[in-house]
Amino acid sequence: MNDKILKVLKQKEGYVSGEDIAYKFNLSRQALWKHINELRSLGYEIAAVPHLGYQLIEIPDRLYPWEIKDSLNTRTLGKKIFYYQKISSTMDKAWELGEKKVAEGALICSEGQGKGRGRLGRKWVSIKNKGLYLSIILRPDLSFSQIPSITLLSAVAVFKGLKKIANLPLCIKWPNDILIGQKKLSGVLTEVHAEQDRTNFVVVGIGVNVNHTFNELPKNGVSLYSYTKNKIPRCRVLKEIVEEFEVLYEDFKAYGPDSVLDQWRNLSSIWGHFVKVSGVKGTVEGRAMDLDHDGSLLIRNDNGMIEKVVAGDIVKMKE
Ligand code: BT5
């Protein structure tokens, strides 16, 4: 009922009479008042004036599923949304739901995370009500070797989604970072639930620093707010990223990774630069030449040999 009342209040800029709302939903005046107070306790600012009625003054910056669904224009992503005030990690919840056979496209979002994680057991700082903490459950029919491309796809989706919000000087850093200058704005994490060669499901985790003040950010972090000085509703950030994600993902499933890889190549300014990459098998240095068809980074070392790095971090880059 709360969401229905909210819809009515959103439709009108001025006051809506309490009598009209109560009549529309067959509620007593007391019951309507109870719903109004419930909405207020969720953070909605609603003015109540005798003889005039109710007016929605402000929508809180929360990732409430009904707010997300109100604006999200997708076919499969976000048809189911699991929402938490606080959680250890949206990845853990996504794994739990994935094992329970929750359908592809389910979104898991939380206002904060107690144990947000990055790759290789690293931590993702997840301050409550400030960032976007989102996991997406996917069930692609892909071979194991194609999965790393999903990380690149996610990074492209974040890049394109954030570009729609503001004209930011974003950089994409292999494989999963979105930066402004040298500072990290967003990170992506892909985890796969697989048995032998069969992929059961994939979870993509997306973290974006949205409304953090400078002091709330980790060292070398940046938020949309700390850079633009504008507060941005986190639902909007989710919407833009998830809509871009769906377009890329449908294309990827239908035609393979080529288009995603091309877009990633075009967004990156790494090509031809000297890089030092710390990978699982040690450090590789040389010139970044290209992405391989599986999303690995191809580096030409001093001997002219091409080395392939499947997973790792670029720890240094120069001209
Ligand atoms: C990542 O790992 O960048 C992937 C981050 C994924 C986070 C999302 S949030 C929703 C979902 N649920 C989760 O639990 N995780 C996903 P990696 O490339 O390993 O980078 C981690 C490193 O980034 C850390 O070691 C820090 O140096 C830095 N870092 C941590 N928190 C940060 C933040 N909020 N902003 C910028 N940098 C951060």
Q: Give the pLDDT confidence score for residue 199 in this predicted structure.
A: 87
Q: State residue 82's pLDDT score.
A: 98
Q: What is the pLDDT of residue 186?
A: 98
Whether 294 and 306 have beta carbons less than 8 Å apart is answered as: no
- Report how far residue 63's alpha carbon sits from residue 111's, in angstroms, rounded to the nearest whole number: 7
* Nearest Cα to Cα of residue 263 among 273, 274, 253, 252: 252
Whether ligand 1 lies within 6 angstroms of the CB of 113 is answered as yes
The per-residue pLDDT for 216 is 96
For ligand 1, atom 28, name the residue with the nearest CA. Answer: 124
More confident residue, 177 or 282: 177
Q: What does the pLDDT read at residue 319?
A: 65
The preferred substitution site among 124, 137, 176, 224 for testing ligand 1, maximizing ligand atoms within 8 Å of CB, is 124
The CB of 175 under 6 Å from ligand 1? The reply is no
Per-residue pLDDT band for 219 (boundaries 50, 70, 90) equals: very high
Residue located nearest, by CA, to atom 10 of ligand 1 = 133
The answer, yes or no, to whether any atom of ligand 1 lies below 6 A from the CB of 117, is yes
Of 110-119, 194-203, 262-271, least confident by mean pLDDT is 194-203
Tokens of 159: 């890049």
Q: Is the confidence at residue 2, as pLDDT, over 90?
A: no
Closest protein CA for atom 29 of ligand 1: 124
Alpha helices, H only, the chain: 2-11, 18-24, 29-41, 65-71, 90-99, 148-165, 224-228, 234-255, 258-267
Mean pLDDT, rounded, for 225-235: 96
116 CB less than 6 Å from ligand 1? Answer: yes
Going from the C-alpha of 46 to that of each of 28, 128, 132, 231, the distances in angstroms are: 19, 24, 26, 21
Give the dihedral of Cα atoms 148, 154, 156, 158; nearest 10 deg. Answer: -150
Distance (Å, whole) CA 239 – CA 249 = 15
pLDDT digits (tens, 9 = 90+) for 71-112: 999 999 999 999 999 999 999 999 999 999 999 999 999 999
Q: Please report the pLDDT score of residue 91 as a whole number.
A: 98
Question: Residue 80: helix, strand or coil by DSSP?
Answer: coil
DSSP result, 271-283 = TT-EEEEEETTEE
Q: Where residue 43 falls among pLDDT bands split at 50, 70, 90?
A: very high
CA angle 4–77–62, rounded 5-degree value: 50
Q: Which atom of ligand 1 is nearest to the CA of 313?
A: 18
